[in-house]
Structure 1
Amino acid sequence: MNEDNFADELTAFVEMFNTGTLILLVASILVLWLINWCIRYFMERIMMRFPTRRFFIMQLSTLMSFTLYIVGGVVLVVGVLRPPQEFMIAVGGSAAVAFGFALKDVAASLVSGLILLFDRPFQVGDRVSFENVYGEIMAITLRTVRLRTLDDNIVTIPNSRFITDVVASGNLGAMDMMVVTEFHLALDADIQEAEDIVRQVIVTSRYAYLKKPVTFSIEEVQVAERLSIRLRAKAYVLDVNYEKAFQSDITRRASSLFRERGILRPLR
């Protein structure tokens, strides 16, 4: 009796993957991929037209991709393969155990991806620091997060890593972000004048977001075995894409004014 049941289940399994079903399955997968490509292309065109809303558009694109693949996968299995109920029950138990061990890391990343989507410790478009990697979140997929560093490298990180490890978001969905720029001065330098110079440089920068305050912190630090004054300027850039341009602009112009006005720097 058991042998007869096994033969019937095997026959049902073979019938599921006949030539017509396989062609329909491949065609359906290609259609899913094409729809997802069209969604991303359409969203990129919208972002070019409305750059100030690009974070919302990128997040909407990610959500639509999630929904498309999840719903599409279920429809393919149920609507195209149409496995009999007896076969699903018989195979499901053993397959669950086998795939559970083989794909536990993938499953953890899939679940973590859903947690990231709704808990939102960071969003697509954010500048984040994770371990020794810093850059912009380009995409949150079902399994991984893709991050572009400031050197234009794409770093792929499993979703599960973000659930257990510490991650810092610099802007959390906002267009503006704080940028900290450091200057080192000699111990006998005129600190107040140096601060006034840096403030002047910041407020006249085309990249500065002046609706938020410009602040400073001053402390003694050791540089090359010598004591010096570290002046840290904390200001906001109007768009995270201009982070390094803003920092470079401040550093270049402030350093030039330091030389012109005789602001002493640490000796080598």
Structure 2
Amino acid sequence: METPTLAELFHTLGTGTLLELLLIVALAGLLIVSAQKLLPWLADQLHGKQRLYLLAIVPLLRLGILVAAFLLVVPRVVEPSLQNMVALFGTVGLALGFAMKDYASSLIAGIVAVGEMPYRNGDWIEVNGIYGEVTHIGMRTVEIVTPDDSRVSIPHLRMWTDPIFNANCGRPQLQCVADFYLHPAHDALAAKAVLQDVALTSPYLHFDDPIMVTVHEKPWGTHYRLKAYPIDARQQFRFISDLTVRGKAALTRLGVRFAVAPVVAEK
């Protein structure tokens, strides 16, 4: 059985076929753009898990539209036989492997990311020291917005080599930590109780999740970590600021002194 040449794989495209192809591509593009605009807008009208579930549908829906468009386009361009498909995909795969290795790897990683969901729209992730909220999952990159409102595009290729830290993993809440450094001469039980009360009285607190105060003794003082969950992950920085400001005021009223880091003398 002879292997067909690349030119023999394709149909001669008439005017009617070209119009069909343009219609398929235009319709697929319109559906993708509509989904990427409409669903995030609807998600912003919701809260909690409903918002995150709706955001997570966007990349899945886009992938489904692309696959459907591809399945409609290929039979109109190529004679859909097993021999032709093997020859076409082998040629395209070989070209991509040599000419666009990193780009193709990012595309494959993007498909894996849509399936395995190491991050979803609305998740707060950290990749290679960059932390922010996932706002868009493209075919090649994931787009996040940092706390400083910087928009960063990270290739999916990173998931092959770098650890991905996901703070909420599809949940509307994530754990926040406020740190306090106190002089070692104080009543630790009273300080711990005060910090727990500070968390309980925060307007941002999600009451269904636990509050925890951990205590670590250091050579220069005592390190307290107040851990709690806000109602919505987008409130995390306001929540941490609220815990820090009111926690510091409550500890000051308790008469606790704060630790001072020792100054290392220069040699």
Shift of 1:264: 0.5
Q: Is the alpha carbon distance of 1:242 and 1:84 closer, same or farther for their aligned partners in structure 2, counting shifts above 3 Å?
A: closer
Give the gaps of 5 or more residues in structure 1. Answer: none
Q: Are the equivalent residues in 1 in contact too, given 2:202–2:243 (CA < 8 A)?
A: yes
Please tell me the residue identity of whatever aligns with 1:36.
Answer: I
Equivalent residue number for residue 48 of structure 1: 44
User: How far apart are 1:65 and its partner, in Å?
Assistant: 0.8
The one of 230, 233, 250 aligned to 2:223: 230
**Residue in 1 that maps onto 2:188:** 191
Asked whether the equivalents of residues 189 and 265 of structure 1 are also in contact (C-alpha less than 8 Å), the reply is no
Aligned to 1:69: 66
1:130 aligned onto 2:145: no
| AA in 2 matched with 1:143 | R
TM-score by length of 2: 0.82
What amino acid does structure 1 have at the position aligned with 2:238? A
Q: Which residue of 2 aligns with 1:141?
A: 138
d(CA) in 1 for partners of 2:254, 2:210:
26
How does the TM-score come out when normalised to structure 1? 0.82
SS of the residue corresponding to residue 177 of structure 1 reads coil
Distance 2:74 2:170 in 1: 36
| CA deviation profile, 1:206-241 (whole Å, cap 9, x unmatched) | 11112222112111336xxxx121111111122111
- Residues 97 and 193 of structure 1: CA distance in aligned 2, closer, same or farther (over 3 Å): same
Coordinate RMSD, CA, aligned = 2.9
Offset at residue 182 of structure 1 (A): 0.6
Task: Provide the residue aligned with 1:244 in structure 2.
Answer: 237
Q: Compared with structure 1, are the counterparts of its residues 70 and 234 closer, same or farther at alpha carbon in structure 2 (3 Å cutoff)?
A: same
1:32-75 Cα deviation digits (max 9, x unpaired): 22211212232133213322311100111221011112221332
2:55 is matched with which residue? 58
Q: CA deviation at 1:84?
A: 8.4
Tell me how many residue pairs correspond in the alignment.
257
Question: Where does 1:1-268 land on structure 2 (aligned, <5 Å)?
Answer: 9=7, 15-16=12-13, 25-26=21-22, 28-52=24-48, 53-79=50-76, 81-82=77-78, 93-221=90-218, 227-267=220-260
Q: Distance in 2 between matches of 1:28 and 1:92?
A: 21
2:11 and 2:78 in contact (8 A); partners too: no
The equivalent residue for 2:264 is none
Taking the aligned partners of 2:257 and 2:86, their CA distance within structure 1 comes to 79
- How far apart, in 1, do the equivalents of 2:79 and 2:148 lie? 49
Distance (Å, rounded) in 2 between the aligned partners of 1:127 and 1:147:
8
The separation in 1 between residues aligned to 2:80 and 2:173, in whole angstroms, is 55
Return closer, same or farther for 1:15/1:193 CA change in 2, 3 Å cut-off: same
Task: Please tell me whether the aligned partners of residues 214 and 225 of structure 2 are also in contact (alpha carbons under 8 angstroms).
Answer: yes
Quick check: 1:124–1:139 contact (8 Å CA) kept in 2?
A: yes
Shift of 1:158: 1.7
Secondary structure of the 1:51 match is: coil
Q: Give 1:191 shift.
A: 2.5
Aligned in 2, Cα 1:92/1:115: closer, same or farther, shift over 3 Å? closer
Aligned amino acid, residue 185 of structure 1: L
Q: Distance in 1 between matches of 2:78 and 2:184?
A: 78
Q: Is the contact made by 1:13 and 1:87 (CA closer than 8 Å) also made in structure 2?
A: no
Pair 231,43 (structure 1): closer, same or farther in 2 beyond 3 Å? same
Mapped contact 1:183–1:232 kept (Cα < 8 A): yes
- Worse-superposed segment, 178-187 or 40-49: 40-49
Residue identity (%): 26
Query: Where do 5+ consecutive residues of structure 2 fail to align?
Result: 262-267
Contact 2:198–2:243, Cα closer than 8 Å, also in 1: yes
TM-superposed deviation, 1:249: 0.5
